Amino acid sequence: METLTSPLAGLRARGIALGGAITVYLLLGGGAVFLLVGCLQSTRFAQLTVSGLAVGAAYGSLALALVLIYRATHVINFAQGELAMATTYIAYQLIQWGLSYWEAFAATLAIAFVLGTALELVVIRPVQHRSVIAAVIVSVGLFILIDGVVNWIWGGGIRFMQSPFSGSYDLGGVNIQHLYAGMLGVVLGCVLLVWALFRFTKLGLGMRAAALRPAAAALAGVRVDWMLALGWGLAAVLGAVAGMMYEPSQLLLTPTFMQEALVYAFAAAVLGGLESPGGAVVGGLAIGVFLNLLAGYLPQVVSLEVPFAFAVLLAILLVKPSGLFGRREVSRV
Amino acid sequence: MRGRLPALGSIAAVAVLIAVLPFTLSSYNVSLVAQVGIFFVAVLGLNILTGYSGQISIGHGAFMAIGGYTSAVMSRDHHTNLIVTMLMAFAICFVLGLLVGLPALRLSGAYLALATFALAISVPQLPLQWSTFLGGTGGVQSHTTVSDRWIYGAAWSCSAILFLLAWLILRGRVGRAFRAVRDSEIAATASGIELSLYKTLAFGISAAYAGVAGVLFVMATNGFAQPTEFGIILSLQILIGAAVAGLGSLWGILAGAAFVGLLPQVSTSVPVIGSDHGRDVVFGLMVVLVMLALPDGFAGLLARLRALVRA
Amino acid sequence: MAVNRKKLGALLCALAVGIAVASTAAASHSGTPGVTKKQIVIGGTFPYTGGASLYKTIPTAEQAYFAYVNAKGGVNGRTIKDITKDDAYNPAQTVPAVQQLVEQDHVFAIVGSLGTAPGLATWGYLNQNKVPQVLLATGDAYWGNCVHHACDGSTKPWTTGWQPDYPGEAKLYAKYILKTKPSAKIGVLYQNDAYGKNYLTGLKTGLGSNKGQIVDAEPYNFGDSAQVVGAHVGALEAHGADTVVIFATPTASIQALATLAILHWSPLTILNNVSANRLFMLAAAQNGASLNGVVSTTYIQSQTATPSTKGMKLAKKIIDSVGSASLSQDFAAGDNNLVYGLAVGYTFVDALKHAGQNPTRASFMKALRNLDETKNPFIYPGMSVQTSKKRTFPMEQLILEKWAGGGTGDWGTFGKIASGLK
């Protein structure tokens, strides 16, 4: 059981900042040094690391969306990846209609926000207090539904979307794609904006309060249900960012392109801790780099990537169920 | 499925219906109803886990895969009788279920959901790595293939036997322990129930059921076991079936099995949307609507109806 | 009402026996299914959705060809009706779809269905029920009636493929490498399944005593992300390869070609036929791939390289008559799968014509096993579709082709027509 002197002090402590023990930071520091030394030793290693970080950022953004929703409503949203995929198709359509890439990007974020909020209001709210299983199944239903709708409107075939970045530059002998640098920049920028929103605005405080101490927040005059719906909207925005940034790295747009990303986002979220937003982003980056290096240097275990990633994950769950950065979850009796 | 069985009448009605159906239906429809029987076994198994011990699993497709591959490989390499492979799948999945159940003791709620999800994603990858033994993406072809009616008979015979078995387990001491664990772990421990034993046991039993369903599932694809058949969607279907079923009602489980076994096939020809995508749109929408409208699944609906009749 | 345990047990046992008895009842049929005086009904399964949906223009082209034949009076006074179903490339969906086609729609034959695993999941059922499963859209050696070990000596008399087999195609690449670059250090990227391994085996056989020149073979899994595919390509470079052979499906091959550009690496590149659709090459170019000099093979005509042949004019007419703007656009951009579909449609109609005035499934299979088609207007000029006791792959000739012209370029064939089986 957790004891708190004042709800607000507790909130500050459990804000968006990283939690976690010294050993975890040492582990991370060790990993970073390993990557740095590797990059200086070998250009191939460097290239694998950079592209791994870029897609890892996309996994991290999607994982952050999952974590925001989990913190707010204790729902594991299986539809998060498909929602990101659907919003990427919307961006594609807007570009087809003549908008420039970044106009479409901005418009899509707005649409995603409305979509996410609406979903919470219409289908999640009635089931969120019922049970973990009910909410999981509704999100699974949404997964299938969104998939069907996208297939219905745009067809199941491959589409080609304009890439926002092209070309490359040279950094100490390592050829770095603008695309990867751009992905990292855009995703991490958006994550920082969301962090600032939560940390420094009154709305953010309200959302955190509604998620973590709903009863106390309601007493303090926070409209808890609106805050939860807005949380879903924000998560959808983060998902849309992940989708639109992940798509150019895959070169093709198909209705299934976010499914693998969702699997890795789940892994990232558990790795970092389902309750830890910062952990989700770090977890995403770690998994992106790890998978890339694995594929590059140990191709003979190519089919074991997924089982291996999940074996590590299960081990972490068993040793430290709250993830690398999470605190022990308060059990709800 | 509780100590008191649903009225003899309803069992007899189901039995007669199922025994008569193959004489009246076309061969294709027989295979559809057989599919429902296969899902009945799997949903029944998951129902024991979620309904009676309060644990969630999104990974039962993995146990179906293990059962299915066991059968296909034994049939391919040793021409083993299919009924025998069913018993083997039951035993292997029971043991593996116990093994998965042990770490699952430390997890609950969302964490258990994600851990079992990982299982469902990972297991179908294994045949790709050990492709000489497990056939890779090319799959494993059983030596023996059977007709639709054979599968129909096997699926519903298994359903009947396993339903009886579940009833026998749940009506006694084990069932009482399961329910106590679900309702309150603290109270159950206080009254001397070995928590970890019963939670692990529930996992084992329900995995064994899924294993048998997996054998039937592979038979229904002409004895062909292949990784994509056991994708994550299969695990989700079982979970949806169990949720639609609700708790502890024969009719509920039938409804849940029919929901996941029939609806996607029936809704392939929807007007306006068109065949290929209509399936997903209708199925997804129905899942959401049913969950919103029937909080306790079909079993809950029945209970409410009964209460209405009595009032 | 509590139930006596014994009673219940007895009841359920009786039920099990009842079902078992019911199960032995068998259905009977008379006449040739799917064939009436005015019509012949056939069916097929295709991935309209999911990861392999790139191939979904194939059934569209087949249906377009049948519509064209129907407009000219059909075959022996019968029009052809082709019912296609989506299986999303998933065998678990193929099985009920094929059962539905056979038992509810009473199709005469399953024609052109796509994919190795879906085909394997249904060939037992179809052969048991003596339903032709023909002209499958997969080049795995399975369909060559036991040239592959996989059928374990039990022939599948009701099953045939159409396109050249993959190992044979790979042997041609081996010959080409040995001839043009005898000291090549070969790196192979292959799909980690029967399909990719079929190719890899063929390449090794073709190289013979020189197979030691393969310095690295990297397997990737269908559905891997672009980064993983890219990492494998990087590994080929790291192993010192100067020749890259890609045995992949379109998505991964596009990603591999784009990765070569990212690495600023330009080895001699060979791409298997299945991925060499011009539409996908252009997509790779859009993502920065420099395609000049890439080598592949073909066996059908190109509507972009030789648009004015009789066959390609006819193809354009048939595809345009479907009336879909996007389909016509794909055709104009060089979607070769459309021509493939037309060519398969032609072979089906040809076999049906030779199956007699009142075709049966048996007479149709006999016609298919004795094809002699030199006038198929859609296949590469000079090639033929032939079958006999000795030759079980209807199409087995190929010709090499090379890409020129970069991002707006096209394939150009060179050398002589060759057979991979020799």
Identify whether B253 is part of a domain.
Answer: no
pLDDT at B270: 60
Same domain, C212 and C246: yes
Identify whether B283 is part of a domain.
Answer: no
Higher pLDDT, C329 or A332: C329
Give the phi and the psi of residue C136 in degrees, each rounded to 5: -60, 140
Task: Please calculate the CA angle C281-A258-B284 and round it to the nearest 5 degrees.
Answer: 120
Question: 3-state DSSP helix/strand/coil percent for chain B, to nearest 5?
Answer: 80, 0, 20
Same domain, C280 and C413: yes
- Across the interface, whether the CB atoms of B139 and C91 are under 8 A apart is answered yes
pLDDT at C145: 53
Give residue-wise pLDDT tens across range B195-241: 788 888 999 999 999 999 999 999 988 888 888 889 888 998 999 99
Is pLDDT at B37 greater than 50 in this prediction? yes
Identify whether B74 is part of a domain.
Answer: yes
Task: Identify the CATH class of A21-307+315-319.
Answer: mainly alpha
Identify whether B301 is part of a domain.
Answer: no
Which B residues in the span 288-307 are in contact with A, Cβ-Cβ below 8 Å? 288, 291-292, 295
Q: Kindly list the residues from chain B whose CB atom is less than 8 angstroms away from the CB atom of residue A138.
A: 287-288, 291-292
- Tokens at A106, concatenated: 């901005």
Domain ranges of chain A: 21-307+315-319
Give residue-wise pLDDT tens across range B106-137: 777 778 888 888 888 889 888 887 877 887 77
pLDDT at A20: 57
Same domain, C153 and C49: yes
C373 in Cβ contact with C392 (< 8 Å): no
Identify whether B134 is part of a domain.
Answer: yes
Nearest CA in chain B to A313: B115
Tokens 């029987």 map to which residue? Answer: B37
CA dist C276 → C247, C283, C308, C401 (Å): 11, 11, 21, 10
Same domain, C325 and C266: no
Same domain, C65 and C178: no
Could you tell me which chains touch chain C, where touching means 3 or more CB pairs under 8 A? A, B
Identify whether B192 is part of a domain.
Answer: yes
Give residue-wise pLDDT tens across range A21-39: 777 788 888 888 888 888 8
Give residue-wise pLDDT tens across range A96-120: 999 999 999 999 999 999 999 999 9
Most confident of A38-42, C24-28, C50-54: A38-42
pLDDT bucket at C363, cuts 50 / 70 / 90: very high
Any idea which of B184-198, C169-183, C221-235 has the lowest mean pLDDT?
A: B184-198
Is pLDDT at A61 greater than 90 in this prediction? yes
Burial of C98 (0-12, 13-18, 19+ CB in 10 A): buried
Number of domains, chain C: 2
Identify whether C4 is part of a domain.
Answer: no
Same domain, C43 and C131: yes
- For residue B164, give the nearest of C9, C86, C99 by CB distance: C9
Report the length, in residues, of chain B. 311
- The C-alpha atoms of residue C377 and residue C300 are separated, in whole angstroms, by 9
Number of domains, chain B: 1
C172 in Cβ contact with C420 (< 8 Å): yes
Any CB–CB contact under 8 A between C258 and chain A?
yes
Same domain, C54 and C124: yes
Q: Quote the radius of gyration of chain A (alpha carbons, Å).
A: 20
Q: How many CB atoms within 10 Å of residue B277?
A: 24
pLDDT at C149: 42
Is pLDDT at C197 greater than 90 in this prediction? no
Any idea which of A243-247, B87-91, C154-158 has the lowest mean pLDDT?
A: C154-158
Identify whether C306 is part of a domain.
Answer: yes
Same domain, C291 and C404: yes
> Residue C216 sits in which domain range?
166-298+398-419
pLDDT at C16: 53
3-state class (DSSP) for residue C322: coil
Task: Please calculate the CA angle C357-C360-C363 and round it to the nearest 5 degrees.
Answer: 85
Q: Mean pLDDT across the stretch C184-206?
A: 90
- The C-alpha atoms of residue A53 and residue A60 are separated, in whole angstroms, by 10
Could you tell me which chains touch chain B, where touching means 3 or more CB pairs under 8 A? A, C
All residues at 6 or more sequence positions from A332 whose CB lies less than 8 Å from its CB, including other chains: none
- Tokens at B203, concatenated: 């996992």
Identify whether C14 is part of a domain.
Answer: no
- Across the interface, whether the CB atoms of B163 and C192 are under 8 A apart is answered no
3-state class (DSSP) for residue C71: helix
C27 in Cβ contact with B27 (< 8 Å): yes
- The C-alpha atoms of residue B279 and residue B267 are separated, in whole angstroms, by 5
Q: Kindly list the residues from chain A whose CB atom is less than 8 angstroms away from the CB atom of residue C250.
A: 158
pLDDT bucket at B87, cuts 50 / 70 / 90: very high
Higher pLDDT, C198 or A90: A90
Identify whether B277 is part of a domain.
Answer: no
Identify whether B95 is part of a domain.
Answer: yes
Tokens 């089982």 map to which residue? Answer: A307
Q: Kindly list the residues from chain C whose CB atom is less than 8 angstroms away from the CB atom of residue A256.
A: 50-51, 223
How far the first Cα of chain C sits from its last, in Å, is: 77
Closest Cα of chain C to B198: distance in Å? Answer: 24
Give residue-wise pLDDT tens across range C261-315: 888 899 999 999 988 999 889 888 888 888 999 999 999 999 999 999 999 999 9
> Residue B78 sits in which domain range?
8-231
B206 in Cβ contact with B45 (< 8 Å): yes
Sheet strands (E) in chain B? 140-141, 224-225
Identify whether C25 is part of a domain.
Answer: no
